[in-house]
Amino acid sequence: MSDRVAARLAALGTEHGLDEPAVVALGVLLDVLAADEHAATTVRDPTEAVDRHVADGLSGLTAPEIREARTLVDVGTGIGVPALVLAAARPELQVVAMDTVRRKVEWVAATAERMGLQNVRTVHGRAEAWSAGRHRFDVVTARAVAPLGVLLEYAAPLLRPGGALVAWKGQLDDDESRTGRGAAKQLGMGEPRSQRVTPWPEARERRLVVSVKERPTPKGFPRKPGEARRRPL
């Protein structure tokens, strides 16, 4: 790891109040990304990945819903961001990393082991099918997975009352915002609120969109796997 990347990691650790084991674990994540050409991302160079993956994942700690959570499921986890990043930052947080692609789930599981994380488990499956088992989490996270309305439909059945969806988003256009508000009302979720974040100095239009579960999920949800995308609310 270069001195530049090590300094950036140390600065992120100070910014977010991380202990030394957390910073070391995040360094391992960067090393794995750099070494593994099969990692499901085009951003593998540590000088870029430290911002676009680690800093971006850590920005979730600015949301009180994540800071105070005890259980979290990351839907469409991909390379494990934010799941692995938040698990390293908060070892008391129980994290589930879920994806429909088996090789991604296996990659995340292997990387969590290399990072020394004891608080991560992985699930290969769809959120709609898994939520039918009445799992209830404090937080559902998602980064670069689906439009807001679809994410709300994935999240609502997975959340306990008072739990929250926290979605990593760029700029929201009017249509996505309007559709998200409508979906939230149908699903018993509170009106989404948008919180601007700047994970790294050059970041533009980065935000966390948060919606809290206010009422029980209505009957009929979750719909059949794939229905949320085929026929959005």
Helices (H), the chain: 3-16, 20-35, 46-49, 56-58, 64-67, 83-89, 102-115, 127-131, 148-155, 174-187, 227-230
Q: Is 128 annotated as ligand-binding?
A: yes
Q: Is 76 annotated as ligand-binding?
A: yes
Is the separation of the CB atoms in 83 and 14 below 8 Å?
no
- Say how far apart CA 58 and CA 54 lie, in whole Å: 6
Q: Is 143 annotated as ligand-binding?
A: yes
Tokens linked to 197: 């974040």
- Say how far apart CA 116 and CA 119 lie, in whole Å: 9
Is the separation of the CB atoms in 96 and 121 below 8 Å?
yes
- Say how far apart CA 62 and CA 73 lie, in whole Å: 18
Rg of the chain on CA atoms, in Å = 17
Tokens 């949320």 appear where?
Answer: 228
Indicate the annotated binding residues. Answer: 76, 127-128, 143
Indicate the annotated binding residues for S-adenosyl-L-methionine. Answer: 76, 127-128, 143
